[in-house]
C-alpha cells in the first residue's frame, strides 16, 4: 500500500472512531434525557407529595397553606398516577416531575375560586413526563383534582392537538377556542407536541361536573375506583 493510501486509511479510521464515540455520547444523552431524568423526577415528586400530605394532616381545619402545592391531579386515561400541582410553569419547577398552574401570561383560576379556567402545564417527555399520554384523553374522560378538603371532578369536552406555543388564548377564563362562550368552571391541560419536541402545544379542556367532600378515609370518587 502506498504512503498516501495509508494516510487516507488512517484518516478514515480516526473519523470512524469519532463517529462511534459521538454515537455513544448521543445515546447516553438520550438515555439521560428520557429515562434517568424521569427516575430523578419521580423521586423528587414523591418526596414533595409526601411532604404536602403530611402538612395536610397536621394543619388546623380551615387553614390553607399552598406553599408546598395545592393538590394532586388524577387522570386515569394518562396512567400517570397522582401528579402534584404547584405554582408556576417554569422549567425548573416542572423538572421536579410535577404539574404547575399558570401565573402568566394569563393567571390561572384555582378550582375553589369559582368561575374561571384552572390552567396547568407539565412535561411530555423526560423529567417525569406527567403529560406524556395526553393524546389518549377523549371526550367524557374524567380529570380529578384533589385538595385537602375537596375532590373536583371534571370531564373532558374538547382538545386541540396542535397549536402555536405562543397561543395564549387557550388559557383564557372563557376558553373560546374550545367552543365555550359563557363563564364556567373549566380546566385546561397543556404540554409540548409532537412527542420528543417542543415546537407546538397540545391542549385538552375539561369542565367541572361536580365536587365531593373528602371523607376521613380519603375515599376517592367513583371515577378513580
Q: Which residues are designated catalytic?
A: 192
Per the structure block, which three cell numbers stand in for 185? 368552571
Tell me how far apart the alpha carbons of residues 87 and 135 are, in angstroms, rounded to a whole number: 24
Beta strands in 24-181 (DSSP E): 71-74, 82-87, 99-101, 116-121, 142-146, 150-164
**149: buried, middle or exposed (CB in 10 Å: 19+, 13-18, 0-12)?**
middle
Query: Which segments of the chain does DSSP mark as H helices, in order?
Result: 3-31, 37-58, 91-94
Tell me how far apart the alpha carbons of residues 56 and 148 are, in angstroms, rounded to a whole number: 6
Tell me how far apart the alpha carbons of residues 87 and 69 are, in angstroms, rounded to a whole number: 7
Tell me how far apart the alpha carbons of residues 44 and 38 are, in angstroms, rounded to a whole number: 10
200: which strand partners? 164, 193
Summary count for the chain: helices (H), strands (E)? 3, 8
The C-alpha angle 62, 63, 64, rounded to 5 degrees, equals 115
Amino acid at each position: 500500500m502506498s504512503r498516501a493510501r495509508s494516510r487516507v486509511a488512517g484518516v478514515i479510521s480516526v473519523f470512524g472512531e469519532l463517529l462511534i464515540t459521538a454515537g455513544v455520547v448521543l445515546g447516553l444523552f438520550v438515555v439521560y434525557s428520557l429515562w434517568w431524568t424521569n427516575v430523578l423526577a419521580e423521586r423528587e415528586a414523591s418526596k414533595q407529595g409526601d411532604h404536602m400530605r403530611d402538612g395536610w394532616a397536621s394543619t388546623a381545619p380551615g387553614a390553607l397553606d399552598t406553599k408546598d402545592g395545592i393538590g394532586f391531579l388524577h387522570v386515569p386515561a394518562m396512567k400517570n398516577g397522582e401528579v402534584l400541582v404547584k405554582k408556576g410553569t417554569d422549567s425548573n419547577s416542572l423538572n421536579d416531575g410535577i404539574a404547575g398552574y399558570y401565573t402568566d401570561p394569563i393567571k390561572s383560576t384555582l378550582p375553589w375560586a369559582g368561575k374561571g379556567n384552572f390552567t396547568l402545564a407539565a412535561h411530555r417527555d423526560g423529567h417525569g413526563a406527567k403529560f406524556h399520554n395526553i393524546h389518549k384523553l377523549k371526550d367524557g374522560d374524567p380529570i380529578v383534582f384533589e385538595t385537602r378538603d375537596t375532590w373536583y371532578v371534571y370531564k373532558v369536552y374538547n382538545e386541540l392537538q396542535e397549536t402555536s406555543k405562543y397561543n395564549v388564548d387557550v388559557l383564557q377564563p372563557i376558553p373560546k377556542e374550545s367552543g365555550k362562550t359563557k363563564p364556567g368552571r373549566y380546566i385546561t391541560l397543556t404540554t409540548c407536541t409532537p412527542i420528543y419536541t417542543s415546537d407546538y402545544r397540545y391542549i385538552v379542556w375539561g369542565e367541572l361536573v361536580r365536587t365531593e367532600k373528602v371523607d376521613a378515609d380519603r375515599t376517592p370518587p367513583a371515577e378513580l375506583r
